[in-house]
């Protein structure tokens, strides 16, 4: 059975978008980043009512051959929202006037799933031409990915529009990195209007599924912070296993599971791993191993109470999804997620393999 929490059901029962908007303001204590009222879960009810079902169908097919695609799509939504808001800018390719965010350091040879997004867009366009934005496809795909991996479900606020530009320099500076300290992570969350304790810990919990390359954590294994020694917060048994997987002069693109216990399941084991110093990324372990941090108690709570984690994750995902959306007449509804409309070839969708 889907894990659907009481606040979701309350929103589902709202009889008017204003009621839903007021509920979210009350639920979040009036602290929701930017304006929730611009987005509504019912946005496509009259124009593309089956959009979530269509996206889910493409995702289910992709999961048959790529078990990590759900985590990859969720990460695309994260990286999109942290750069000028949730506007689909991460999906844009290079052009004569656009420097793609795909080639920013946090994304280059790392962000993936763009072909699956293309297939989702093609399927949605086939059913509802020119209606659903690429930014909303990412938001829906993230929710579906989490739910299909055993995590919580939520009603996704919709109505975002797509950006006309990308911001590579913003991607380089704004997206949280795997080797950053807790203080830096907190500053990046605060910069986009997210809470630096509950939102930070809950959203980091998305690392309960997916993979990471050796290059993202090898600095912890041999020469942490220039010390010439491994990261002292890394469990020694886990350290030995990671050193075998990622030798100092080895292939740094080798993958390993972010959650060593349940790699493809969305659950609370990520937080239990932190308690035993088995967080893969420095940015993960910092949540528990930074002396005196207010995040430690939250990690402990989520480790022992998966329902609390799921509830907080839903709240934080909705908050993140509402960072600076383009709405109304701002931006556009891209016909091809990779290029803005009226560019050469932009009005022709990429060939879909679905």
Structure tokens that stand for 271 in this block: 């937080």
Task: Give 98's contacts (C-beta < 8 A, 6+ positions apart).
Answer: 92, 165, 166, 340
The Cα diameter of the chain in Å comes to 61
Cα–Cα distances in angstroms (integers) from residue 262 to residues 8, 61, 64, in the given order = 27, 21, 18
Question: Is 79 noted as a catalytic residue in this protein?
Answer: yes
Structure tokens that stand for 49 in this block: 């009512």
Cα–Cα distances in angstroms (integers) from residue 61 to residues 66, 67, 70, 108, 147, in the given order = 9, 10, 11, 26, 15
- Of 154, 130, 152, 149, the closest CA to residue 52 belongs to 154
CA dist., res. 93 & res. 236, Å (int): 42
Q: Which of 16, 77, 79, 207 is catalytic?
A: 79
- Of 215, 62, 219, 247, the closest CA to residue 145 belongs to 62
CA dist., res. 342 & res. 330, Å (int): 16
Q: Which residues are catalytic?
A: 79
């Amino acid at each position: 059975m889907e894990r659907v929490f009481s606040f979701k059901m309350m929103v589902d029962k709202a009889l008017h978008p204003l009621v839903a908007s007021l509920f979210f303001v009350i639920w979040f204590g009036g602290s929701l980043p930017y304006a929730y009222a611009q987005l509504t879960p019912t946005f496509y009810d009259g124009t593309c009512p089956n959009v979530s079902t269509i996206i889910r169908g493409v995702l289910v097919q992709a999961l048959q051959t790529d078990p990590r695609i759900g985590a990859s799509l969720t990460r695309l939504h994260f990286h999109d929202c942290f750069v000028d808001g949730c506007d689909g800018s991460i999906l844009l390719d290079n052009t004569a006037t656009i420097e793609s965010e795909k080639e920013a350091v946090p994304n280059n040879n790392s962000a993936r799933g763009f072909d699956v997004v293309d297939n989702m867009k093609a399927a949605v366009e086939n059913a509802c031409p020119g209606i659903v934005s690429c930014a909303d496809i990412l938001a829906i795909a993230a929710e579906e990915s989490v739910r299909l991996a055993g995590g919580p479900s939520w009603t996704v606020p919709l109505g975002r529009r797509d950006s006309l530009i990308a911001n590579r320099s913003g991607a380089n500076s704004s997206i949280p990195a795997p080797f950053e300290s807790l203080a830096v992570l907190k500053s990046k969350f605060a910069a986009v209007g997210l809470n630096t304790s509950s939102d930070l810990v809950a959203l980091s919990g998305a690392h309960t599924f997916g993979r990471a390359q050796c290059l993202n954590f090898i600095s912890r294994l041999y020469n942490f912070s220039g010390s010439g020694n491994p990261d002292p917060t890394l469990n020694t048994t886990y350290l030995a296993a990671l050193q075998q997987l990622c030798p100092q002069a080895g292939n740094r693109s080798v993958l390993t599971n972010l959650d060593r216990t349940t790699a493809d399941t969305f659950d609370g084991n990520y937080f239990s791993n932190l308690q035993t110093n088995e967080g893969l990324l420095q940015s993960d372990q910092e949540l528990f191993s930074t002396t005196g941090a207010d995040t430690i108690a939250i990690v402990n709570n989520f480790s022992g109470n998966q329902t609390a984690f799921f509830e907080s994750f839903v709240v934080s995902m909705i908050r993140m999804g509402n960072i600076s959306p383009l709405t109304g007449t701002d931006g556009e509804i891209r016909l091809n997620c990779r290029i803005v409309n009226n560019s050469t070839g932009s009005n022709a969708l990429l060939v879909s393999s679905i």
